[in-house]
Amino acid sequence: MRGAEPLVHCLTNSVVRQITADVLLAAGAAPAMVDHPDEAGDFAAVASGVLINVGNPTTEQIEGMHAAIASARDHGTPWVLDPVAVGGLALRTGLATGWLDHGPAAIRANASEIVALAGAGAGGRGVDSTHDVAVALAPALSLAERTGGIVAVTGPQDIVVTNSGGSTIATWVTSGHPLLQKVIGTGCALGAVTAAYLGAARTAGLPDHDAVVAAHAHVGAAGTAAGRVAAGPGLFAVAWLDALYTLTPEEIADTVTLLDASP
């Protein structure tokens, strides 16, 4: 990923733009926020990956999202859906549900968002999950089957699933630190890192599933490393960024536990 330095087009919420750009840079990617409807399609055509995050949408940004998704499909750019707080709010729930038929390469969300997006229950509490990750496994498999893309559910442990073309893969990723929940935008930034890894993997001819696992491992391992040196959210955020930048692939592999739970 660092070698490819993928260009990541982010249409994301107003709360997390700064941390998303910082995280992409630290992880080895190049961020660009391009929301305007008259520009978003052109940019998605040349980007390595696109992030669509519905965390705080404006009317104009939604038009940009439609344009970016259409262009990403036309140009084969992998795009990632982050259905922030879907379930509790009708506008974003309708948007995200409609986009399931537009070929997201990956969906990245917490357990409550996956449950709600799959129509298997209500959402969480605001932007936070109130469901266990394991509860979201069946909804994630159903979303993966419907979209043909990868679905990743985050929490104390993450699960990444593929369920298309007769192939079902489920990978548990154990890493991270509870302080990741005390810094805003860690999940949103992970969605952008997922788009970055997908872009890099497509260039290298590597599987999308492995790209999504690698994104979660990189972000999670950096969280584990930051938790070793930080007592609270402020220093943790800084240490997490530094670890995203400094961790080697070997250190990430040594920090993260992967478990193949494919049926």
Ligand X SMILES: Nc1ncnc2c1ncn2[C@@H]1O[C@H](COP(=O)(O)OP(=O)(O)O)[C@@H](O)[C@H]1O
Ligand Y SMILES: Cc1ncsc1CCOP(=O)(O)O
Known binding positions for substrate: 33, 185
In terms of CB distance, is 112 or 224 closer to ligand Y?
Answer: 112
| Residue 21 binds to ligand Y (criterion: CB under 6 A) | no
Nearer CB in complex with ligand Y: 84/107: 84
String marking each residue 27-56 x if it binds ligand Y according to CB under 6 A = ----------------------------xx
Residue 20, helix vs strand vs coil: helix
Least distance between ligand X and beta carbon 211 (Å) = 15
**Cβ-count burial 45-69 (b if 16+ within 10 Å, e if not):** bebbbbbbbbbebeeebbebbbbbb
Of the two residues 98 and 178, which places its CB atom closer to ligand X in the complex? 178
Q: Tokens 């929490």 identify what position?
A: 155
Dihedral sign, Cα of residue 225, residue 227, residue 228, residue 233? positive
- DSSP string of 179-212, one letter each residue: GGGGSTTHHHHHHHHHHHHHHHHHHHT--HHHHH
Residue 119 binding: pick among ligand Y, Mg ion, ligand X, none (C-beta 5-8 Å cut-off by kind): none
Half-sphere exposure of 79 (CA within 13 A, CB side): 37
Instruction: Determine contact, residues 30/7, Cβ cutoff 8 Å.
Output: yes
* Least Cβ distance, residue 250 to ligand Y (angstroms): 28
Asked whether the CA dihedral 256, 232, 229, 188 is positive or negative, the reply is: positive
Q: Is 179 an interacting residue with respect to ligand Y (CB under 6 A)?
A: no
- Under the binding rule (CB under 6 A), the answer on residue 153 touching ligand Y is no
Q: Is 127 in the site for ligand Y (CB under 6 A)?
A: yes
Q: Which is nearer to Mg ion, 108 or 218 (CB)?
A: 108
Query: CB atoms < 10 A from the CB of 2, how many?
Result: 12
Radius of gyration (C-alpha) of the chain in whole angstroms = 16
Residues in 168-207 at the binding interface with ligand X, rule: CB under 6 A: 176-178, 180-181, 186-187, 190
Binding residues for ligand Y, per CB under 6 A?
13, 15-16, 55-56, 84, 127, 184-188
Binding residues for ligand X, per CB under 6 A?
110, 128-129, 154-156, 158, 176-178, 180-181, 186-187, 190, 219-220, 223
